[in-house]
Amino acid sequence: MTKRGMDTFHLIVLPIVLLCCVVGICGETEVHGTCTKDDGVDCGSTSSSLEVSPIITKLDGVEVGHVQDVILGGKTHQMTTLSMKPQVLEIKHFLTDEECDHVVRLAKKDGMFDSVTNTPTKSGSVKVMDMNQDTALSLREFILTIENSFDIYLDEDDMLKMYSELGMDRNGDTEISREELHGQDPKSVIDWLTDYVDKRPYKKSRMSRQAWLYPSKIHDKILDEIQERVVSLVGLPRILIDKNDEFQVVQYGPKGHYHAHWDSGSWAEKYPCCHHVKSGARCKSCRFMTVLLYLNEVEGGGATAFPIANNETFNENSFRMSGKINLHRHCEDANLVVPAEKGKAIIWYNHHLDPTTGWVGEMDSFTLHGGCGVTSGHKWIANKWILVSDKRDKDLDPNFKPNRA
């Protein structure tokens, strides 16, 4: 946890919280098999049901295992469909070894800094996740409470250690009853968590370092060529890429990881897209598409996992209860696991197309994914996100400059 994160942590006003007993549980949202032709949600590139010509399109993976040639900069690459729900496409040797090494060098030269994720609890309140409303917290329910409120991902062993060191579970049944909870000074819990995660930063949702590379600023021939290759591959209006041209280079060290998450957010979210606002303002990510480039061979671990790919349905609370969000523990349980291979690209769409507008639609929940724990060596990747907002005209207007600092 960074120093800054720590401050936030302490600021959480604790009249709080853990003691304020059984509280609401997040609304259960069921998402039913979204990517089907008959429910009006588009799954592929051809969108005959659209009422207007789409300006954004998707590549068509056809079916799992399908291989198609794509010609990029005069070179033929093979693109293989790894999954259709969500559609994940893979291109091996998208980058040469030299290009990979070069991007890593550029990032190191620019300076890597700790990646920070949004801390869930900014409001100062903790939602006690008594999922079955039995007025006691099971181990998993307490783990979930801590995950949601503090962005700390503990195992059952960690929790038992906390119970024992704080004398919390007085009757030793591994459940924390309302009385046991009330008998505990919340500050002692917060202090314990703070100290624990300080010594074990890999208990956060993400442990990595990163740098941002802007082709338009650094004028690097090789980075420009990679950018061109991405533009040719995705087949989207190049203005979308030109306006937000950055690459995020990420380095994971031993025990580095990024637990399961979405790259974008719900379209229904009322905040503006981040690429239209000054940094610091509350906003949503609006990443229509992810192009992930693997920049080295990882000695151990470090695959990219899609835990719920091809599931029939998805229920966020049940998923969180299952603990499978933790990709140190549950990488191999994921439905789709993509090994990191130097030079490989994988791409997916974080949003559906809206059949009535031909523009971006709701987020595709099945894109939930993350970086599995690195067990030995380092892992380097570059993320290229194609940003698209709900202000279609602004996105396509060359004179509209994103208002970012």
Interface of this chain with ligand OGA, residues 307 to 336, rule: CB under 6 A: none
Interface of this chain with ligand OGA, residues 335 to 394, rule: CB under 6 A: 369-371, 381, 383
What is the smallest separation between the CB atom of 244 and ligand OGA, expressed in angstroms? 16
**From candidates 169, 263, 354, 364, binder to ligand OGA by CB under 6 A:** 263
What is the smallest separation between the CB atom of 261 and Fe ion, expressed in angstroms? 6
Calpha distance 274→389 (Å, rounded) = 9
Q: Are the C-beta atoms of 167 and 136 separated by less than 8 Å?
A: no
The SS3 of residue 386 is strand
**From candidates 258, 262, 306, 314, binder to ligand OGA by CB under 6 A:** 258
Q: What is the dihedral of CA 227, 232, 233, 239, to 10 degrees?
A: 70
Number of residues that bind ligand OGA (CB under 6 A): 9
- Give the residue closest to ligand OGA by C-beta: 371
What is the smallest separation between the CB atom of 362 and ligand OGA, expressed in angstroms? 20
Q: Are the C-beta atoms of 302 and 379 separated by less than 8 Å?
A: yes
Residue count (the chain): 405
What is the smallest separation between the CB atom of 115 and ligand OGA, expressed in angstroms? 8
Q: What is the dihedral of CA 281, 283, 286, 292, to 10 degrees?
A: 60
Name which of 61 and 370 has its Cβ closer to ligand OGA: 370
Interface of this chain with Fe ion, residues 249 to 268, rule: CB under 5 A: 263
Q: Are the C-beta atoms of 223 and 247 separated by less than 8 Å?
A: yes
The SS3 of residue 222 is helix
Asked if 94 touches ligand OGA (CB under 6 A), the answer is no
Interface of this chain with Fe ion, residues 263 to 302, rule: CB under 5 A: 263
The SS3 of residue 288 is strand
What is the smallest separation between the CB atom of 306 and ligand OGA, expressed in angstroms? 10
Name which of 34 and 367 has its Cβ closer to Fe ion: 367
What is the smallest separation between the CB atom of 357 and ligand OGA, expressed in angstroms? 27
What is the smallest separation between the CB atom of 257 and ligand OGA, expressed in angstroms? 8
Interface of this chain with ligand OGA, residues 279 to 308, rule: CB under 6 A: 304
In this structure, which amino acid lies at residue 327?
Answer: L
At 136, list the tokens: 């006691």
Name which of 141 and 263 has its Cβ closer to Fe ion: 263
Radius of gyration of the chain (CA): 22
Report the interface residues with Fe ion, using CB under 5 A: 263
Report the interface residues with ligand OGA, using CB under 6 A: 250, 258, 263, 304, 369-371, 381, 383
